[in-house]
Structure 1
Amino acid sequence: MTVTNERRVLVHSDKLALAGSVAARFITKTVDILDDLGEAHVVLTGGSVGIAVLEAINASSARDSVDWSKVSFWWGDERWLPRNDSERNELQARAALLDHIAVPAENVHPFAASDDGITLEDAALAYAAELVEAAPSGAAFPRFDITFLGVGADGHIASLFPHLSGIRETELSVVAVTNSPKPPPERLSLTRPALNSSDRVWLVLAGADKASALGLALAGASRDEVPVAGIKGRRRTVFFVDGAAAAEVPSNLIAPSY
């Protein structure tokens, strides 16, 4: 039986084991979702661990057990850079997985790019409209089944940073970010309400530099101080971490096995 709003921490020996484990779990869960619902909506993240997970999915012998024609892909955030810039999350995800599976082009929903001929603000509005178009009647977003997120050393998720207005947004589904403390300063990001609408939020992080943020988030820090503290999936929230990132996690939250 699924426990509503359950938060668990699953610890792995290293980044390679972490990526492989998340990939295997993703394939199994996506097959189950497709059996139950007939389609799936997945939100992708960037970052070295997020991309390593996509590479591990692509390398898995079980990869094609998923009917990719029924899976739609979205992004939690994107850097406001030209379409073919190697720093774009979209480009990295395509190289790691999307270009290797039989997913229809119309099922892949990247953010606009800086050379698409529109402003950053219009790009945010356009993505919000795309979310509505794929959503059930009257809803602002599709039914997200799995949302992947990385976590920064400062606790940021997507492009929602500590003490900036994005993490406090409660009405919009997408925001234009103009003052990111990480380059580039201009970005697009889903908001906390959009991220938290997901049935399952899977946060994937590795490294000792993430330990403090993770420990603070799980100990009850405010979302303004540590944005990841404000993230919780509708059904389940799972932190997939390596041992270094888990150093400050309360022991009662660490799952012994799964």
Structure 2
Amino acid sequence: MAEFWTEKRVVISPDAAELVTSVAARFFDRIGKRTGAGKTAHIALTGGVIGTEVLRAIGADPARHDIDWSSVHLWWGDEVFAPWDSAERNHHAARVLLDAIDIPTANVHPMPSSDDVADIDDAASAYAAELARFGDDERAWPTFDVCFLGVGPDAHIAALFPDRAEIQVVDRAVVAVRDSPKPPSLRLTLTRPVLNSSRRVWMVIAGDDKAAALGLALAGASYESVPAAGAKGRKRTILFVDRAAAAQVPAELIDQEY
């Protein structure tokens, strides 16, 4: 029998709408404390339906006006390699947040589009160089205070898909993904070392089609076959889920107080 990773905790909301509201509120609490203390906050954003709804909720909440956005830097965990104005791009979906907050343009770090850089490997190198501008002696990338991750029905995170070479990469910050199992086929993604150096990894998961993937991730499955199982923050790893996605969550991993 698989051993469960007790360091991962699950917070369950009754439905997707309350899940989104709950995550947005926790975001303001966490980032408000950090920026209020005069510290810079680096955030990694995700795409997908539920990830975009979280960004929409943050952008619509009056609490956004209490955040010093000049102390916040926004990054992306993965991106479709497509023209800048493509509706497929996570950056495009994130306009629901970006258009609602007063954040300096220099603090928003989208992954390159195919308009910016013609070759996808060059695009990966360019984003790695941008990350390195905010790195330190230990890492060639910033430490994310919160790294948002969605989880696919196949348990992929960012653009790290099961049983593919990208999940094994540990010597680069960003890699190109070709022939992605999830279309569009060309993508860029942060690698496991970058994601797992985050202080907090927040996986946001909704829908009964995610229940099996969530169960495997919590059961300590191999990260090569279940990438979500390998996502782990240095301080906290929280899985925010709705009740539909929580069907296979062991009771001992449910956090009633977080």
TM normalised by structure 2 equals 0.95
Aligned counterpart, 1:244? 244
Which runs of 5 or more structure 1 residues have no equivalent in the other structure? none
Aligned counterpart, 1:176? 176
Determine if contact 2:36/2:68 at 8 Å carries over to the other structure.
no
Q: Any idea what SS the aligned residue of 2:249 has?
A: coil
Distance 1:37 1:165, change over 3 A: farther
| Shift in Å, 1:37 | 5.2
Q: Any idea what SS the aligned residue of 1:198 has?
A: coil
Query: 2:239 and 2:34 mapped to 1: Cα distance?
Result: 20
Match runs of 1:132-147 below 5 Å: 132-147=132-147
Query: 1:200 and 1:117 mapped to 2: Cα distance?
Result: 31
Q: Any idea what SS the aligned residue of 1:118 has?
A: coil
Query: 2:142 and 2:59 mapped to 1: Cα distance?
Result: 25
**Which amino acid letter does the alignment assign opposite residue 20 of structure 1?**
T
Aligned counterpart, 1:88? 89
**Which amino acid letter does the alignment assign opposite residue 149 of structure 1?**
L
Determine if contact 1:197/1:234 at 8 Å carries over to the other structure.
yes
Q: Deviations over 1:32-61 (max 9, x none)?
A: 111345210000000010010011111112
Aligned counterpart, 1:7? 8
Determine if contact 1:6/1:235 at 8 Å carries over to the other structure.
no
**Which amino acid letter does the alignment assign opposite residue 7 of structure 1?**
K
Which runs of 5 or more structure 2 residues have no equivalent in the other structure? 1-5
Aligned counterpart, 2:3? none
Q: Deviations over 1:65-123 (max 9, x none)?
A: 111111000000000111001110001102x1111111000000001111224200000
Query: 2:45 and 2:64 mapped to 1: Cα distance?
Result: 17
Match runs of 1:5-154 below 5 Å: 6-36=7-37, 38-94=39-95, 96-154=96-154
How large is the Cα RMSD of the aligned pairs?
1.2
Q: Percent identity?
A: 54
**Which amino acid letter does the alignment assign opposite residue 136 of structure 1?**
D
Aligned length: 253
Q: Any idea what SS the aligned residue of 1:53 has?
A: helix
Determine if contact 1:150/1:204 at 8 Å carries over to the other structure.
yes
**Which amino acid letter does the alignment assign opposite residue 30 of structure 1?**
I
Determine if contact 2:60/2:100 at 8 Å carries over to the other structure.
no
